[in-house]
Chain A
Amino acid sequence: MDLEKLRFGTELIKRGFAKMQKGGVIMDVTNAEQAKIAEEAGAVAVMALHRVPADIRASGGVARMADPKKIEEIMDAVTIPVMAKCRIGHIIEAKALEALGVDMVDESEVLTPADTFFHINKKKFIVPFVCGARSLGEACRRIWEGAAMIRTKGEAGTGNVVEAVKHMRLMNFAIEKVKKMDDTELNEVALSYALPYKRLAESVSNEGIKLKDDDLIYEEYTFEDIVKGLYEVLQEVKKMGRLPVVNFAAGGIATPADAAFMMHLGADGVFVGSGIFKSSNPPEYARAIVEATENWRDASIVAKVSKGLGEAMKGQEIEKLAEQLQTRGL
């Protein structure tokens, strides 16, 4: 093959990969056996983890990228794409996952953040990224940084869908507003969405070092570059009437009805974390969630696949959590 004519890692290829996941269910797995169960049930991809979020939450401590040996084991076990999580901002974990040949990297709040100021500049990678977002602002920032897929930041490991629903509704309402905005209004929104990138520079300035307009405040970008970039993302949102990348539901989805509900709210597909392998019958649960996601419009199918499934994972109320993972990363 003439390698010079081939182009790798373009936006089209990265966003295209995410589009191939649409209408599907991506399942968290912690070993080869679980990965095979997921594939047999019809998962479109698996997320290779050391522990599922419910166990990460229970065990406490710093949660990091999974052991590459474990990820490779899972990659060898299945033919569908394998994703893996890196910590927010941890460029080297992401590079390591790319080197392993992982098909998509999740820069995830479920792991302990490595950088309180910034997310990874994902444009510099060949591997596509998925990132969490609680609002349109977070989504636009991640898309500008190069994310090929967005997902809600529902509270992982709780089996409680309420936060994922909240994020999807917030995003939908904001998109409806953006659709009606003129250029001046879009620019104002872009300016406001760009503010979190200033936090590092402002901390330094608070100590007495003066800032200039042409300071590079994030990677090779000035504040003005960032505002312009976010303005362009917002223009795409306005033109398309939706996020310009695939938008999945994630966090707290525990039942087939939860999955169908998220699809009803406009999700392009669903991530299921602890919900499957913390249920009483993982293979059946996995199949049922796949069918409910595809047939979310047909309540009779959702009812049918939900019959006699056994117990769903035990859920948790958000107010009673020691820490909300979704607040990690702005």
Chain B
Amino acid sequence: MKIAVIAAQGDVEEHVVAANKALKKLGIEGKAFATIDKEEVAKSDAIILPGGESTTISKLIHKSSVAEEIKKAAREGKPVMGTCAGSILLAKHGDEEVRKTKTKLLELMDIWVKRNAFGRQRESFQIKLDIKGIGDFEAVFIRAPAILKVSSNVDILAKLDDYIVACQQDNILALSFHPELTDDTRIHEYFIKMAK
């Protein structure tokens, strides 16, 4: 199993490490690797869009047309996971900040996202979340976005008050937080199992 972590900008290496650990734990032969190469992305079995700055990542993946490969893979049913900035890019509907910065989204999920929903860096936080299908999970939110609402075809996995912070639409997973920053690999394991 080949897991491509899109290496445009952000915490790419952390996802590579977490996904490789998860593969090992599950006893699945495979490899997670950082790439921005169109062909490598096309040949992979699963794709991760890491955290970083959504404005920057969007520009870079559209410039190199790797964005088209991600969309194609998602339509083919390959698992795609976006964390933080990555979850913004997966959405069909952006907020005022997305519009103001003319950020191009991949438009793969029927979700409405809000950038910097919790505030600036000093408002960034960590909290124990109850995630459907996973259980208690220490989640790190960094200048995090939130999902304001979803269509009925989207499964809500975790909420924080009125904000949706984890959801899944078929083969696509969007998280407002950063599972790659902690040692807990259960979300990556969940993601890998989606490939089967």
Check if A and B associate.
yes
Interface residues of A (CB under 8 A from B): 1, 5-10, 12-13, 16-17, 19-24, 39-40, 42-45, 79-81, 98, 101, 103-104, 126-128, 290-291, 294-295
**Across the interface, do B126 and A13 meet the contact criterion of CB distance under 8 Å?**
yes
Please, how many angstroms separate the alpha-carbon atoms of A111 and B36 in the complex? 38
B82 to chain A, nearest CB (A): 14
**Across the interface, do A1 and B160 meet the contact criterion of CB distance under 8 Å?**
yes
**Across the interface, do B121 and A103 meet the contact criterion of CB distance under 8 Å?**
yes
**Across the interface, do A20 and B84 meet the contact criterion of CB distance under 8 Å?**
yes
**Across the interface, do A12 and B97 meet the contact criterion of CB distance under 8 Å?**
no
Query: When the two chains form the complex, which single residue of B10, B121, B123 contacts A104, counting CB atoms closer than 8 Å?
Result: B121
Counting CB contacts under 8 A, is B196 at the interface?
Answer: no
Residues of B within 8 A of A45 (CB): 53
Query: When the two chains form the complex, which single residue of B53, B55, B123, B128 contacts A20, counting CB atoms closer than 8 Å?
Result: B53
**CB<8 Å pairs between A and B, sample of 26:** A1-B160, A6-B127, A7-B127, A13-B142, A17-B121, A17-B124, A19-B51, A20-B53, A21-B53, A22-B9, A22-B13, A22-B52, A24-B53, A24-B56, A42-B55, A42-B59, A44-B9, A79-B116, A80-B56, A98-B122, A103-B143, A104-B121, A290-B56, A290-B59, A291-B60, A294-B9
Given A79-B115, A291-B63, verify A20-B142 contact (CB < 8 Å). Answer: yes
Please, how many angstroms separate the alpha-carbon atoms of A79 and B121 in the complex? 12
Query: When the two chains form the complex, which single residue of B55, B84, B124, B160 contacts A39, counting CB atoms closer than 8 Å?
Result: B55
Residues of A within 8 A of B124 (CB): 8, 13, 16-17
B129 to chain A, nearest CB (A): 10
Counting CB contacts under 8 A, is B110 at the interface?
Answer: no
Counting CB contacts under 8 A, is B69 at the interface?
Answer: no
**B82-101 residues at the A interface, CB under 8 angstroms:** 84-85, 97, 100-101
Counting CB contacts under 8 A, is B181 at the interface?
Answer: yes
Interface residues of B (CB under 8 A from A): 7-14, 36, 51-53, 55-56, 59-60, 63, 84-85, 97, 100-102, 115-116, 120-128, 140, 142-143, 160-161, 178, 181-182
Query: When the two chains form the complex, which single residue of A10, A19, A42, A101 contacts B11, counting CB atoms closer than 8 Å?
Result: A19
Residues of A within 8 A of B143 (CB): 17, 20, 81, 103
Please, how many angstroms separate the alpha-carbon atoms of A295 and B163 in the complex? 36
Given A42-B55, A42-B60, verify A24-B9 contact (CB < 8 Å). Answer: yes
The chain A residue with its CB closest to the CB of B7 is A23
Please, how many angstroms separate the alpha-carbon atoms of A43 and B54 in the complex? 11
Question: Which of B12, B125, B128, B178 is packed against the most chain A CB atoms within 10 Å?
Answer: B125
The chain B residue with its CB closest to the CB of A101 is B120
**Across the interface, do B52 and A24 meet the contact criterion of CB distance under 8 Å?**
yes
**Across the interface, do A79 and B97 meet the contact criterion of CB distance under 8 Å?**
yes
Query: When the two chains form the complex, which single residue of A1, A81, A103, A294 contacts B8, counting CB atoms closer than 8 Å?
Result: A294
Residues of A within 8 A of B142 (CB): 13, 16-17, 20
Residues of B within 8 A of A21 (CB): 52-53
**Across the interface, do A127 and B121 meet the contact criterion of CB distance under 8 Å?**
yes
Query: When the two chains form the complex, which single residue of A12, A81, A101, A294 contacts B140, counting CB atoms closer than 8 Å?
Result: A12
Given A16-B181, A17-B143, verify A80-B53 contact (CB < 8 Å). Answer: yes
